[in-house]
Amino acid sequence: MDIYQVDAFTETLFKGNPAAIIPLKKWMNSEDMQHIAAENNLSETAFLVKKSEDRYGIRWFTPETEVDLCGHATLASAHVLFEHLGFSGEKIRFDSHSGELNVQKKDNLYWLDFPSQPPSPVSVPKLLPEAIGCIPIYTGTNVDLLILVDSEKTVQKMKPDLEILKRMDVRGVIVTAEAEESGIDFVSRFFAPAVGVPEDPVTGSAHTVLTPFWSKKLGKTEFKAKQLSKRGGTLDTILKDDRVWIGGPAVTYMTGKIEISE
């Protein structure tokens, strides 16, 4: 099988979020896909099956489990189709566990059309202050737990206790604050030790929660966002009714072959 490794949400190698992309002629069994994702040991491995000229099935696996939605690996998949596999249409349609997801390429950016997932306020979980080392200003949930803290510096310097986060009943934890840098609206980090991702470098799916949250807070619909992981990455996001458009570039790091005995 062919395999591609792509750095998403960056134009520079060794930045952004790496994802492995594996095009298949037909679906493998889930156990084998999970083994491959564990072997890759990246935050996400995406598998694709072509269904028609502009439509593909897509599934995403962390090293430990299959997930229902992943932004950076979808963006990386579109990059592979456009740049390596000769896709020449205007829009790629992906069928996923989260419904149809469309990706368009405009200039050097890939734009993901994802469902908006605004958070609902919840009380501060009992273990959270100990886990993150501070009292959040706001906590909300929609798939993942969203935490608003007082400053970009707090986000940047946070060293959460991953063992405590792993024990909490959440898939992932998004920490966010208003940006201090000119031209950036908000910053974030994303931790998901419960699914085998201690810290995700750049998380497209988290911005389906962040974008409607910051739209309500700042009274606007278009944003420039930055994820403050060690690798780092920037995203353009737009709230359009019940959808979030997430834009970013990508660059290929590696192409290769996987050999599995029948």
Please tell me the total number of residues recorded for the chain in this structure: 262
Buried b (16+ CB within 10 A) or exposed e, 85-112: eebeeeebbbebebeebbbbbeeebbbb
Give the up-direction half-sphere exposure of residue 36: CA atoms within 13 A in the CB hemisphere.
29
Alpha-carbon torsion, ordered 152, 154, 158, 163, to 10 deg: -110
44 belongs to the catalytic site:
yes
Rounded to an integer, what distance in angstroms lies between the CA atom of residue 13 and that of residue 184?
Answer: 22
Query: Residue 183: left (phi > 0), alpha (psi -120 to 50), or beta?
Result: left
Rounded to whole angstroms, the Cα distance separating 136 from 128 reads: 9
Catalytic residue (choose from 11, 31, 44, 180):
44
- Give the residue numbers marked as catalytic: 44
